[in-house]
Amino acid sequence: MRLLIMGPPGAGKGTQATAVAEHFGVPAISTGDIFRANVAQGTPLGVEAKRYMDAGEYVPDAVTNNMVRNRIAEADAQDGFLLDGYPRTVAQVEELDAMIAATGHRLDAVLCLTVDQEAVVERLLRRAEIEGRADDTEDVIRRRLEVYAEETEPLIAVYATRGLVVEVDGMGEIDEVQQRIFAALDSVPQS
Ligand code: AMP
């Protein structure tokens, strides 16, 4: 399975991505997690990414695309993957199309989690307290939601025209949402 999980910041993508990836036996690849690991280790990539992340802005496409290209070329991603947090811009969609086409495969589905905007802000503020993420202050959260609406939400329409979108209600308990996701994805034919 080659899957994407999409939804606004705070929709619960990371939590659900792990469970879905395990279910299908593919790695969950989170660009946000890879950036955060690089920030923690102080790599040049981390130093560059941090400037954008702390402001709630997107890391430049060239940097992000390169990182994803390298990651999905690794051995564990040859039979499939679930991308969490990528693509986020039209340019990234085009790059991902090229990366997948180069392997002779295709994308199977784009899982879209829908949530209530105010609930999302509350969820993110709660997570900020628990995890202490530098990009979880209220101003930065609002900026991330704005950037999502401007740059990323339109991608759902792009994938919808390809018939790939599987929409799932992301509100409710983690287990409940997970069951909805499995039910929705189990009807997707695997390539
Ligand atoms: P996330 O954990 O997915 O919310 O990502 C945290 C931050 O990492 C984002 O707010 C961006 O600054 C950066 N980031 C993650 N994925 C991407 C991407 N595909 N394109 C650009 N920036 C990204």
Contact 20, 3 (CB under 8 A): yes
Residue 172 lies in a domain: yes
Q: How many domains does the chain have?
A: 1
Per-residue confidence band for 191, with pLDDT thresholds at 50, 70 and 90: low
Q: 52: CA distance to ligand 1 center in Å?
A: 9
Q: Which domain holds residue 172?
A: 2-185
Mutation to probe ligand 1, out of 6, 13, 59, 94 (largest number of atoms < 8 A from CB):
59
69 is catalytic: no
Residue 98 lies in a domain: yes
The residue among 135 and 109 whose pLDDT is bigger is 109
127 is catalytic: yes
88 is in an annotated binding site: yes
Percent of the chain exceeding pLDDT 90 equals: 80
42 is in an annotated binding site: no
Percent of the chain exceeding pLDDT 70 equals: 97
Per-residue confidence band for 117, with pLDDT thresholds at 50, 70 and 90: confident
**Sequence letter at residue 156:** I
Q: What is the pTM of this model?
A: 0.93
pLDDT digits over 3-49, tens only? 999 999 889 899 999 999 999 999 999 999 999 999 999 999 999 99
50 is catalytic: no
**Sequence letter at residue 68:** V
Q: What is the mean pLDDT of the chain?
A: 93
Residue 58 lies in a domain: yes
132 is in an annotated binding site: no
Per-residue pLDDT at 136 = 73
CA-nearest residue, atom 2 of ligand 1: 32
Per-residue pLDDT at 126 = 83
Query: What are the residues whose beta carbons fall under 8 Å from the beta carbon of 4, sequence distance 6 or more?
Result: 82, 83, 86, 87, 107, 109, 110, 111, 159
pLDDT digits over 166-188, tens only? 999 999 999 999 999 999 998 77
Q: What mean pLDDT do residues 121-136 have? A: 78
Q: What mean pLDDT do residues 120-126 have? A: 84
pLDDT digits over 133-157, tens only? 666 788 888 899 999 999 999 999 9
Residues 95, 96, 97, 101: is their CA dihedral positive or negative? Answer: positive
Q: 84: CA distance to ligand 1 center in Å?
A: 9
Residue 173 lies in a domain: yes
43 is in an annotated binding site: no
Ligand 1 neighbours, Cβ below 6 Å, are 9, 31-32, 35, 52-53, 56, 58-59, 64, 85-86, 88, 92, 135, 144
Per-residue pLDDT at 137 = 82
Residue 168 lies in a domain: yes
Residue 190 lies in a domain: no
99, 94, 115: which is closest to 159 by C-alpha? Answer: 94
- Cα separation, 118 vs 73, in Å, equals 38
CATH number of the domain that residue 14 is part of: 3.40.50.300
Does residue 119 carry a pLDDT above 90?
A: no
Does residue 132 carry a pLDDT above 80?
A: no
Residue 152 lies in a domain: yes
**Which of 69, 123, 127, 143 does the annotation list as catalytic?**
127
Does residue 115 carry a pLDDT above 80?
A: yes
Q: 66: CA distance to ligand 1 center in Å?
A: 14
Which DSSP helix (H) or strand (E) runs through 28? strand 28-30
